Amino acid sequence: MTNITTAKQTLTGKWQAYQEIAQKGLWNNNQALVALLGLCPLLAVTNNSVNGLGLGLATMAVLLTSNILVSLIRDFVPSEIRIPVFIAIIACAVTIIDMLMQAYFYTLHGILGIFIPLIVTNCAILARAESFASKNPLDKSIVDAVFIGIGFTAVLVVLGGLRELIGNGTLFDQAWLLFGDGAQSWTIHLSDAYNPVLLAILPPGAFIGLGLLIALKNVVDAKVKKPSLVDIPVEVKTAS
C-alpha cells in the first residue's frame, strides 16, 4: 500500500519536474528570446517560415541526439575531457543530420545550406549538454531537449512567418520543400493589392523582428507578474 503511494508520489514528482523543464525550455529560458543563443543562424534563415521550421527541426534533432548521448555517458567521462567529448558528439550528430537532409530533402538543404554545419557552433546545444544533460538522467534530458528545441523552433517559425508576411505578402511559401508535393497549395497569399515591405526580409528586418519578439515576451511577463506583486504587500501586512 505504502509502496503504491510512494510510487504515485514519485510519479507526480516526475511530472512536476517535467513540467518545470518544459516551461523553462518554452518560455522562461527560451534559448532565442532569453538566453539569446544561436542567433546567427536564427537571424539568417528566418526570411521565410518554412526555412525557419527546417532549421528549427534540424537543431532540435541535433539537440535531442546530443542530450541523449551526453546524459548516457555522463558518469563515464572524466570531467577534464567532457567538453571535447561533447563537441565530438555534437559535430557527429550534425554531420549525420546534414547527410540525411541532403539525401532526403535535397532542395531544402540547398537553401539552408551552410547553416546546417553551423549548428555545431550553436552555443545553445553545447550549453544544454554542459549545463543540463551532463548533470541529469536520461528522461529529464530528453524532455529538456524536446522543449528547448520546440521553444527555439517556435521563435524561428514565428519570426520567419512575420518577416515573410510583411516582406513578401505570403505565409508558408515553399512548404513543399519540407512536406512534399502535397503542400504545393499551402501557401497563403495576401491580396495582390498588398505592397510588401522589403525591409522585413532584408537583414535589418531580422534584428528588428527579433527585438520586437523579445519586447513582446517581456511585456507578457510583466503583465503576468503584476497580480503577484500586488499580493505580496498584503501578505506582508497580515504577517506583521
Partner 1 sequence: MNQKNTLTLHQTMLRAAGLLSLFVVLSVALLMAINWFTQPKIIEAERQALLQLINQVMPAETYNNDLLADVRFVTEPDFLGSPEPMAIYRARLNNQPAGLVLQTIAPNGYSGNIHILVGVLPDGRVSGVRVLKHRETPGLGDKIELRKTDWILSFNGKSLTEQNANRWAVKRDRGEFDQFTGATITPRAVVGAVRKTLDYVNQQGVALYD
Nearest to 133 by CA among 98, 94, 89, 96: 89
Could you say whether residue 89 binds partner 1 (CB under 8 A)?
Answer: yes
Out of 11, 40, 72, 198, the residue judged to bind partner 1 by CB under 8 A: 198
d(CA 33, CA 35): 6
CB atoms within 10 A of CB 33: 21
Could you say whether residue 224 binds partner 1 (CB under 8 A)?
Answer: no
d(CA 158, CA 30): 14
State the alpha helices, DSSP H only, in the chain: 2-23, 39-45, 49-73, 82-104, 106-112, 123-131, 138-168, 176-179, 203-239
- Report the SS3 class of residue 170: strand
CB of 188 to partner 1, least distance (A): 15
Please provide the DSSP assignment of 3-14 as one string.
HHHHHHHHHHHH
Could you say whether residue 143 binds partner 1 (CB under 8 A)?
Answer: no
Could you say whether residue 68 binds partner 1 (CB under 8 A)?
Answer: no
d(CA 172, CA 170): 7
Could you say whether residue 47 binds partner 1 (CB under 8 A)?
Answer: yes
Could you say whether residue 153 binds partner 1 (CB under 8 A)?
Answer: no
Span of 97-105, 117-125, 136-144, 214-222 interacting with partner 1 by CB under 8 A: 97-105
Could you say whether residue 100 binds partner 1 (CB under 8 A)?
Answer: yes
189 strand-pairing partners: 170
Could you say whether residue 102 binds partner 1 (CB under 8 A)?
Answer: yes
d(CA 163, CA 208): 10
CB of 95 to partner 1, least distance (A): 6
Out of 95, 127, 179, 183, the residue judged to bind partner 1 by CB under 8 A: 95
d(CA 163, CA 169): 9
Cβ neighbours for 119, distance < 8 A, ≥ 6 positions apart: 41, 58, 59, 62, 94, 97, 125
CB of 173 to partner 1, least distance (A): 9
Span of 56-64, 102-110, 125-133, 216-224 interacting with partner 1 by CB under 8 A: 102-110
End-to-end Cα separation, the chain, in angstroms = 43
Q: Count of residues binding partner 1 (CB under 8 A)?
A: 28
CB of 34 to partner 1, least distance (A): 30
| C-alpha dist (Å) from residue 118 to 55, 122, 199 | 11, 7, 25
Binding mask 199-218 for partner 1 (x = CB under 8 A): --xx----------------
Contacts to partner 1 from residues 168-187, by CB under 8 A: 168
CB of 194 to partner 1, least distance (A): 12
**What residues make contact with partner 1 under the rule CB under 8 A?**
47, 76-78, 80-81, 84-85, 88-89, 91-92, 95-96, 99-100, 102-104, 106-107, 110, 167-168, 196, 198, 201-202
